[in-house]
Structure 1
Amino acid sequence: MVAELIRLKARLLANGFRRSPWQLVGVLIGAAYALFIAVMLIVGMFGLGSQDPGLIRTVLVCSVSVVVLAWAIVPVLLSGADATLDPAKFATFPVPRRDLTTGLLLSGFVGTPGAVTLVLFVAIALSWRQSPAAAFVAVVAGVLAALFCLALARLTTTAALALTSKRRFREIATILIFIPLVALGPILGGLQAGVTAIFDLLPTVAGVLAWTPLGVFAALPADALQGEWGIFALRLLVALASLAVVVWAWSAMLMRSLQNPVQSSGGSKGSEGLGLLRLFPATPWGAIAGRCLTYWFKDPRYAAGIVIVPLLPFILWYASSQSPTPYLLYAAAPLMAVMMGFSISADVSYDSTAFSLHVTTAVRGVHDRAGRALACGALALPLVLAAAIIPPVALGRPGDVVALVGVTLGGLLSALGVASVASARWTYAVVQPGDNPFKSPPGAGARAAITQLVTMFVAFLLMAPEIALVITYFVTERMLFAWLALGVGLVVGTVLLIVGIRVGGRWFDNRMPELMEAVTLNK
């Protein structure tokens, strides 16, 4: 049964590749990237083998501890990202507990994260190549550490099942994943400033971690090298006990969750009235705008797609504070505008089977395009205007507001127009309603990336007149060019939006059956 579960995992992955060549391309790109990182780390571990054994032990214990901790936390935040072998689907099958837990645990190696972790942990033996005994212990400890990572991930995700089944938790997890991006620059700066003090503390930290489940596996080869067999035996006991306890606890929770499954909750309560629909007129495009704006506030997939957008000003603020000129912050508003406008390029795909309402009611394409653009624009406009106005005022250059608002509004309107055409012509696989927003659906990968990159490139290309006028303004310091940038941005952007709505609406009308088929099959 264990071998059958492993074969089932491999077969499901292979079938997913046959279903969509784009998924295969995406997986190959991801695997190539992971292979590159793995090779670099392996080369680093080989070079580390020529250093002092105390330094080797410190580096490996701290590094492995970070990896193990990541396996405990990240799968909880990305719960549902890989549902190829969902344990809940075995609830109706009489699979023995031992076979089910062992099969599910070992099947974790059939996939890029598990396989790469196993290879890297086994490659730790290269750092101990000076001693055959230590290298052998490193191989065995690496396998046990990889198993511990998979079991720990299963344990934490199963324990958090009651939370991850709630939409509100998934939304919070989405935000938590990207918050470190804001603090990444200051964190790295602080580490660079205090690297000497931190380096002095690492041996002490490693000594503590070596007696915990996080770093005990990485400390075993050092004990074997130094011949401290008493300490080696104690650490081995801690390692095996930790692995056994985690596997047993996960197995018990798994059986309990299969017998009493947790019901997924959308996290929404009953509401009265029309909600956001009341803000728009009782017209086809008004109804579509109200519905789409509701999605922006209640569907975590939209938040996952643009969660980086509100963080751009903070990221560029830190980048500009480290450069000779502080005006890099000015790029935040146009970038936010294009990214927000581009986001509706996946609107039809996100509709899923609910798109049938547009088909059965014979919604005109121009109304559909206009409603979706209006909903996104209503949400994006105050954000991008704030990003365009606040930085110049804070820097004491209020005159720059005119030019920056011009290029920002031009970018938003142009991107909405381009996305209105793109979403009527091209669809791609997206996360299904109710699923984790970071789940990688079959057929996404390269096709989605190419569509998104081309859409954004065209949107930036259409901003060329506004960008040229803004550059001229900053070079000459003449307000005439700032006002020209504002006028051109509004006029050209509005024209492009209208053209995009009309062209996209025409394609929408002509391709409605094909769009319905594509979103139903999620491709």
Structure 2
Amino acid sequence: MALTPTAGRVPVWAFVRLKLRITGNGLRGRPARIVMFVLGLVAACFFAILGHAVFALPGLLDRPEAGEILFPFGGAVLILGWVFLPLLFFGVDNTLDPAQFALLPLRRRTLITGMGAAALAGLPALATFAATLGMVTSAAQIGGFGAALAGFTGVVLGLLFCVVLSRAVISAFATALRSRRARDLATIMLAVVAASIGPLELTLLGVLNRADWESVEVIAQVTGWTPFGAPYTMGLDVAAGRAWAVPLKVLIVVIAVGGLLWWWSRTVEQAMVGAAGGPGRGRAGTSDGRGPVEQLLFRWSPRSRFGALTAREIRYWWRETRRRAALVTLGMAGVFLPLSTAFAGGAGSATGLAFVVGAIAPIALANQFGYEGSAYATNLATGVPGRLEVHSRAAAHALFTVPLLLLVAVVTAVLERRPADIAPQLGTLLATYGAGLALVMPISVRAAYALPDTTAPFSLSSGGGFSKTLPGVAALFGALIAGVPVLVLTLWWPWLGLPVGLVYGVGAYLLGAHLAGAMLDRRMPELLAAVTPR
């Protein structure tokens, strides 16, 4: 496409051709990308077929009341997916970034229309359209041709709303999404999503078993009059004799799309050129009056080598992406596994799941030296004693984990309506956590391995991922077995649970830390070689 002073009159279809051309050129001579594209195509087809089948069920079963609940909620979930998934994967598809068009002399209206058309030609839009056509099938089965026509109109408007909303949000946050902090946040959000799949499934099943369907129907009706559900309920409205609602819902969606287009047009130019200055520009020269070493320590940290090492580890756990993802995963598992089990009707098994959480918590330390990689050479050069190293790392991890274990104990006891079990439950968690630390610490020294650099675009894993994780899995089961005596004790004498669990956990940890520290003193050079990426 030639760039001329009259390029503002470029036809909309040129953007679609440009998108297809870029996609084809990106696949040429790159087998890995071809494989990923084929996998994406298969996933899109699977989503389209599955979604179409689910949305067509109310019509095939002649259950319009099911469609009146499924369609608004399903449509709302689709729209939310269009909002959040592009934010998580920003930068994977270059067409998502408005800055790609910064050098093209295009009118704002042409740019917005062309980017929207290019989005409609993508796999997500086509898969969404094919899936939501199942609503048209249901409307046709229930209400005939008129309902199908209204349903088709709603599906088209819904797809348009999805695309415009997604592009407007991306355009508004494009500048912020280019920062490293945003990429780290996206990683954390992906960890949250991945860790939430199982608990959300159990929670959903429990909620469905206990649901007050009259209240659910009211919520569905309200959702059907919002832009999130209005386009997907038009066909059922005609089938139910509420044809008067269709023009009102069309008006709701059109007004929402118009507002989003106005917002998009206001932010697209800033998204193309980026922000010239950020809110943090004036912070470079600020100081709180403390020296550089004092600024690295927390105000409550001991002014010693142990305090300095612990403060450093705390900052690593809070700022390093992979460590934060591990903490988020632990938090999701610790809180939502007992919670979702209770919702699913198994409150009696919440205690067992909480017991498992205590053993899962230390697994994040199984390759704690691998997080640092070659940076561990600083500790080797300064001659940090092994036991001091181990104690500082365990203390930093415990500052994040122990409050979570307390929260798990409280949540579990409340779900089972036995507040008196908080203390013995906490004792059991501390026992399994201490036993897990005792096993994980020596493993982290003896079975450390290098992790790929997250900032290097060509870094790859060295392979053997399953065999590398086996020691951590063994530590998990070992911690579960080691915590069984305390668990049995709390069943007979609950009042002994907290003190015995605390002493048991601390004693087990001290034994494991002593062994790991001595091992670390002997293996520092070998450990550095093992965690240094090649």
Is the CA contact 1:60–1:218 (under 8 Å) kept in the aligned structure 2?
Answer: no
Q: Is the CA contact (8 Å cut-off) linking 1:216 and 1:238 kept in structure 2?
A: yes
Q: Within the alignment, does 1:253 sit opposite 2:267 as a pair?
A: yes
Q: Distance in 2 between matches of 1:360 and 1:495?
A: 23
String of CA shifts for 1:180-202, please: whole Å, max 9, x gaps: 99999888767755523225536
Check 1:413–1:192 CA distance in 2 against 1; reply closer, same or farther (3 A cut).
same
2:76 to 34, 47, 66: 66
**Cα distance in 1 between the residues matched to 2:516 and 2:123:** 40
State the partner residue of 1:47. Answer: 57
Distance 2:407 2:501 in 1: 17
Q: Which one-letter code corresponds to 2:93 in the other structure? A: T
On the 8 A contact 2:427/2:497 being kept in 1, the answer is no
Tell me what 2:479 maps to. 463
Could you list the runs of 5+ residues in structure 2 that have no partner in the other structure? Answer: 1-13
5 Å matches for 1:262-341?
270=287, 272-273=290-291, 274-275=294-295, 277=297, 279=301, 287-298=308-319, 302-310=323-331, 312-313=334-335, 315-316=337-338, 319=341, 328-329=350-351, 331-332=353-354, 335-336=357-358, 338-339=360-361, 341=362
Deviations 1:369-425 (A, max 9, x none): 637734533424643674698778942686776655333311233234434555x31
The residue aligned with 2:19 is 5
| Distance 1:248-1:482 versus aligned 2 partners, 3 A rule | closer
Q: How far, CA to CA, are the matches of 1:31 and 1:445 in structure 2?
A: 26
What is the deviation of 1:149?
A: 0.8
CA RMSD of aligned residues (A): 5.7
Q: Are the aligned partners of 2:116 and 2:164 in contact in 1 as well (CA < 8 Å)?
A: yes
> Would the aligned equivalents of 2:431 and 2:505 in 1 still touch at CA under 8 Å?
yes
- Measured at CA, do residues 161 and 33 of structure 1 come closer, stay the same or move farther in structure 2, by a change above 3 Å? closer
SS at match of 1:463: helix
CA contact (8 A) 2:490 2:496 kept: no
Report the residue type matching 2:338 in the other structure: L
Compared CA separation, residues 169 and 291, structure 1 to 2 (3 A): same
Q: 2:434 aligns with which of 405, 409, 415?
A: 409
Q: Which range moves more in the overlay, 185-194 or 290-299?
A: 185-194
Could you list the per-position Cα deviations for residues 439-496 of structure 1 after superposition, in whole angstroms to 9, with x for gaps in the alignment? Answer: xx99899989858964541221332551343455467769999999877755554454
SS at match of 1:93: coil
| 8 Å CA contact retained: 1:414, 1:463 | yes
Q: Is the 8 A contact 1:428 1:447 kept in 2?
A: no
d(CA) in 2 for partners of 1:371 and 1:111? 52
Match of 1:142 in 2: 155
User: Residues 99 and 373 (structure 1 numbering): CA distance in 2 closer, same or farther, change over 3 Å?
Assistant: farther
Aligned equivalent of 2:363? 342
CA contact (8 A) 1:472 1:481 kept: no
Number of the residue aligned with 1:201: 218
Which of 378, 391, 396 pairs up with 1:376?
Answer: 396
CA–CA separation in structure 2 for the residues paired with 1:314 and 1:226: 40
Q: Which has the higher contact order (CA 8 A, sep 6+)?
A: 1
Contact 2:71 2:233 in 1 (8 A): yes
Q: Which amino acid aligns with 1:343?
A: A
Alpha carbons of structure 1 residues 111 and 497: separation in structure 2 relative to 1, 3 Å:
farther
Does the 8 Å contact 2:56/2:137 carry over to 1? yes
TM-score (normalised: structure 1): 0.68
TM-score by length of 2: 0.67
**Residues 269-288 of structure 1 deviation map (CA, whole Å, 9 limit, x = unaligned):** 755442453636665x8655
State the distance in 2 between where 1:227 and 1:389 align: 53
Partner of 1:438: none
Within the candidate set 439, 451, 455, 1:427 is matched to 451
Task: Provide the C-alpha distance between the structure 1 equivalents of 2:80 and 2:51, rounded to a whole number of angstroms.
Answer: 17
Calculate percent identity across the aligned residue pairs: 17
Conserved in 2, the CA contact under 8 Å of 1:20 and 1:442? no
What amino acid maps onto 2:351 in structure 1? L
Cα distance per residue 1:97-131 (max 9 Å; x no partner): 45654564455578875554333123333323444
Instruction: Report how many aligned residue pairs link the two structures.
Output: 497
Q: Secondary structure at the match of 1:213?
A: coil
Name the CA shift for 1:386/1:514 in 2 (closer, same or farther; >3 Å): closer
Q: Deviations over 1:54-85 (max 9, x none)?
A: 54762454135413551475359x55655432
Q: Which amino acid aligns with 2:213?
A: T
Task: Find the aligned partners of 2:160 and 2:183 in 1 and give their Cα distance.
Answer: 28
> Is residue 169 of structure 2 the alignment partner of residue 156 of structure 1?
yes
Match of 1:123 among 129, 134, 137: 134
Matches of 2:220 and 2:449, distance apart in 1: 58
